[in-house]
């Protein structure tokens, strides 16, 4: 039997999204709780050290309280300038020291998805990826690199052909938009739908 490649999916673990928590001031000297509805641990106490620009999480891992005591994990933040001004805060994974926007809260401390072997595993995610691939393929017939680009009838393409391709592409775009919007509403992230698609590497 082949060993499973991944231990868990992002849907199964408590995770910190840098953009999301930066949005409510977590990286401005915040000290207090962060809670999770459906994943373990359900509660973290976090602290941003403004002087060192580090972010610490304290939490108890289920059923390991007696043996290990509470877990304390501290990560460095890296502020990178944004293209349109301001800065964006990234976590620096304490295991691999790479920049990441998302940390998993694990028994061994905070970790990036690669080190924690966490993946986007939901069927819904897989379906969305497939849909994006399909939409990109249709968009390429119009000479576009990416389905989100504004379509224009290529010279020499018959109007009827163009209309047929558009009739195929438009419902796909609408469906991708709907799925991404649902996900973004859930994550309460500040990014637009297309930003999310780029960010997930779809």
94/195 with CB nearer Zn ion: 94
Integer angstrom CA distances of residue 92 from 31, 74, 115, 141, 173? 19, 10, 12, 41, 34
**Residue in 115, 142, 172, 180 binding Zn ion, rule: CB under 5 A:** 115
Written as six digits, the tokens of 18 are: 């840098």
107/174 with CB nearer Zn ion: 107
**Residue in 18, 22, 93, 144 binding Zn ion, rule: CB under 5 A:** 93
Written as six digits, the tokens of 122 are: 């939901």
Residues of span 56-85 touching Zn ion by CB under 5 A? none
- The stretch among 94-102, 125-133, 169-177, 192-200 that binds Zn ion (CB under 5 A) is 94-102
Nearest distance from C-beta of residue 115 to Zn ion, angstroms: 3
Q: Exposed, middle or buried, 141 (CB in 10 Å: 0-12/13-18/19+)?
A: middle
117 lines the binding site for Zn ion (CB under 5 A): no
Cα gap 184→188, rounded to integer Å: 6
Summarize as ranges the residues that interact with Zn ion (CB under 5 A). 93, 95-96, 112, 115
């Amino acid at each position: 039997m082949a060993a499973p490649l991944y231990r868990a999916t992002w849907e199964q673990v408590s995770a910190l999204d840098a953009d999301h928590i930066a949005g409510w001031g977590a990286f401005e000297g915040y000290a207090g709780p962060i809670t999770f509805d459906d994943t373990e641990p359900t509660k973290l106490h976090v602290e941003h050290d403004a002087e060192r620009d580090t972010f610490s999480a304290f939490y108890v891992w289920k059923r390991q309280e007696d043996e290990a005591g509470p877990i304390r994990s501290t990560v460095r933040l890296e502020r990178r300038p944004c293209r349109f001004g301001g800065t964006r805060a990234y976590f620096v994974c304490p295991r691999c020291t790479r920049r990441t926007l998302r940390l998993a809260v694990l028994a061994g401390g905070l970790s990036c998805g690669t080190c924690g072997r966490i993946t986007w595993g939901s069927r819904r995610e897989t379906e969305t990826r497939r849909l994006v691939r399909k939409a990109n393929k249709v968009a390429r017939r119009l000479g576009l690199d990416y389905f989100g680009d504004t379509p224009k009838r290529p010279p020499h393409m018959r109007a009827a052909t163009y209309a047929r391709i558009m009739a195929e592409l438009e419902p796909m775009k609408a469906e991708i938009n709907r799925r991404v919007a649902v996900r973004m509403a859930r994550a309460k992230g500040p990014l637009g739908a297309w930003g999310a698609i780029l960010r997930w590497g779809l």
